Amino acid sequence: MSKLKAMRFDTLAVHAGQEPDPLSGAVMTPIVLSSTFAQDGPGKPRAYEYSRTDNPTRRTLEHCLAALEGSKHALAFASGCAAMSTILHVLRPGDHVIACDDLYGGSYRILKKVMGPLGLESTQVDLSDPRRLDEVIRPNTKLVWIETPTNPTLKLIDISAVAERCKSRSIPLVVDNTFATPYLQKPLELGATLVVHSTTKYLNGHSDVVGGCVMTNDSGWHEQLRFLQNAIGAVPSPFDCYLVLRGIKTLHLRMERHVQNAHRVAYFLASHPMVERVIYPGLPSHPQHELAKKQMKAAGGMLSFVVRGGDEVARIALSETSVFTCAESLGGVESLIEMPSIMTHGSIPPEQRKALGIVDGFVRISVGVEDPDDLCEDLDQALRKAGKKNGLL
């Protein structure tokens, strides 16, 4: 591990936290399924006691995750939502959280419908202008929570600018880095206190795991979260930890191709007769294209667009694709397409969705690593079929 500390991202993705098993020489990390570990006597554990508390496969994943974000600490959870819930359990009734206005529907649900009734106050605000933070900070504000790019309207938030404002008031800043991944964006280097991920997405990359994680350089936060990780117990299985470790080995390769394909699809859709608007931070038409260039290595693999003719036409198009699968989630090698208003963001009130720009015909895609010509042709035939059925072409 220590030898690897100074290595570059691609090397860390393949190796960090992992060494041949000292017992067998196994090159790949063993999946240690045991729920409990022998002790040399009562209260005399060796390295591990009980798998909710700690597990060798999970610890290896946590070391690897810390190396990728360049953090001192990382903790793995059973899902992105479990990671978020565990962080929010550090707060107390009467505390106040500021979140960006555009959030994954499940994150919104935790904030408003799970933690709200337990006494946690929250305010959502458009932080694409960081000055808005000053308008909503209260004496009891204990956390600021942002996604960038946001899900699903792909707004960007200037992490350094928000972090500076938080720091001057000693408020911790959490960045959900799921859409960008540590390959494209490093929030801790830009001043964030905590980084969270749904490892379900790009980190695992193969749509066969649900998982989450939290990374930090703040040992006080780490200790509190480590306590809650064990006490609440929303931990991932050793098998899932192994799969995420395996997925991470190709993170850098996959991200390069996701980005390349997303650019191709973005330009293709931008000139399509059935498309009103394309939202992709990599397009010069994106209002924060300059911030994307400053803050991210590249603009990522997520893209949203508005179909001409509204939801009815979009619904038809989504049932006509054959390379794109109509499904929730993102970040896998396969391309996915969805309508946030009735799928991933159904838990957000309709007026709030409209205000965010999740308008009639709003579609989100996770651009996979297939041949980009096949992706464009698939979208083209589906959109044209939908357009013809509705007399728009």
Measured from the CB atom, the residue of 53 and 329 that comes closer to ligand P1T is 329
Q: Is 104 one of the annotated active-site residues of the chain?
A: yes
Q: Which of 52, 257, 315, 384 is catalytic?
A: 52
Q: What is the DSSP letter of 285?
A: T
CB 282 within 8 A of CB 298: yes
Q: List, in order, residues 6 or more apart from 248 with CB less than 8 Å away.
A: 13, 64, 65, 68, 203, 204, 205
Q: Is 364 one of the annotated active-site residues of the chain?
A: no
Measured from the CB atom, the residue of 4 and 156 that comes closer to ligand P1T is 156
**Residues at the contact surface with ligand P1T, assessed by CB under 6 A:** 79-81, 104, 106-107, 147, 151, 176, 178-179, 198, 200, 210, 212, 328-330, 344
Q: How far is the CB of 165 from ligand P1T (least distance, A)?
A: 22
Phi and psi at residue 176, in whole multiples of 5°?
A: -80, 110
Residues 309 and 360: their CA atoms lie apart, in Å, by 8
Measured from the CB atom, the residue of 4 and 98 that comes closer to ligand P1T is 98
* 3 alpha-carbon distance from chain centroid: 29
Measured from the CB atom, the residue of 48 and 362 that comes closer to ligand P1T is 362
Measured from the CB atom, the residue of 191 and 346 that comes closer to ligand P1T is 346
Helix (H), strand (E) at residue 125:
strand 121-125
Select the residue whose beta carbon is closest to ligand P1T and give its number: 80
Tokens of 330: 């993102």
Q: How far is the CB of 249 from ligand P1T (least distance, A)?
A: 20
Q: How far is the CB of 40 from ligand P1T (least distance, A)?
A: 38
Q: Is 201 one of the annotated active-site residues of the chain?
A: yes
Q: Which of 201, 297, 353, 385 is catalytic?
A: 201
Residues 226 and 54: their CA atoms lie apart, in Å, by 10
DSSP 218-237: -HHHHHHHHHHHHHH--PPP
Q: Is 167 one of the annotated active-site residues of the chain?
A: no
Q: Which of 176, 226, 240, 308 is catalytic?
A: 176
Tokens of 72: 């001192």
Q: How far is the CB of 4 from ligand P1T (least distance, A)?
A: 27
Q: What is the largest CA-CA distance in the chain?
A: 78
Q: How far is the CB of 176 from ligand P1T (least distance, A)?
A: 5
Tokens of 17: 């936290």
Residues 301 and 312: their CA atoms lie apart, in Å, by 26
Residues 290 and 296: their CA atoms lie apart, in Å, by 10
Residues 183 and 199: their CA atoms lie apart, in Å, by 13
Residues 181 and 14: their CA atoms lie apart, in Å, by 15
At position 242, the amino acid (one-letter code) is: Y
Q: Which of 58, 95, 104, 249 is catalytic?
A: 104
Measured from the CB atom, the residue of 71 and 107 that comes closer to ligand P1T is 107
Q: How far is the CB of 6 from ligand P1T (least distance, A)?
A: 31
Catalytic residue numbers read 52, 104, 176, 201
